[in-house]
Amino acid sequence: MPPPNKGFDSSLPELTQDVDGANALLDEGGYADADGDGWRDMPDGSELNVLITPQYNKTRQALYLRIAEVLKTNLEAVGVQTTLDEESVRNSDHATEVRKQGTYELYIGYTSPGVAMYDTAFMYIIGDNGNNPWGTCLIPEFVAAYEAKKTAGSYEEYNAAMKELQAIADEQVVGLALCWDKAYFPYRTDQYEGWTNFPGWGVINYKTWFSTQPAV
């Protein structure tokens, strides 16, 4: 949830990096280096190798690869081996299939302004929610809170559902917002008037093209 969104819960902790804490949690969970190769293994002794899958997107490819590199560096700092899903980077059909089947492990994607504002990025996290076949999260409480958000009949109900969604996301770590972009759309109000503003989109929309005219 970005801070400007309605229902944003500022009381939740912000993302921090705690290598010692992460190592302690992994040790407690039984993810030890069973074969002595320098990498942690699964609790049953099998190989642990986390697949990082960037969304196929030529425009954002450099950004996604940089995010993947950061994730790789941070995970390897606590002994977790990773592999970049290179096939998804170069093959849109493969990337689509991986997303539909939910066979990814760490998925890097983005949410558009409209979705972020109205449906929230949680839409991409819930599995088979009838909107987009993106997510894999089917925690009953999480799904129920999302449905409550969609059907809220008042701001009070909406905010309560959003608070519940954020609390569950914080506890279960169903997804992480690594950054929220800002978009700037400069336009002339001294020479033109009739700008039509759309929430989440600004003045760059179809109505603007038909409503602007030279200022009198």
Amino acid at 203: V
Q: Can you tell me the mean pLDDT for 60-89? A: 96
Q: 132-181 pLDDT, tens per residue?
A: 668 889 999 999 999 999 999 999 999 999 999 999 999 999 998 888 87
Judge residue 163's burial from the number of C-beta atoms within 10 Å of its C-beta, 0-12 exposed, 13-18 middle, 19 or more buried.
middle
pLDDT value at residue 180: 80
pLDDT value at residue 89: 94
Domain ranges of the chain: 185-216
Judge residue 46's burial from the number of C-beta atoms within 10 Å of its C-beta, 0-12 exposed, 13-18 middle, 19 or more buried.
exposed
pLDDT value at residue 131: 57
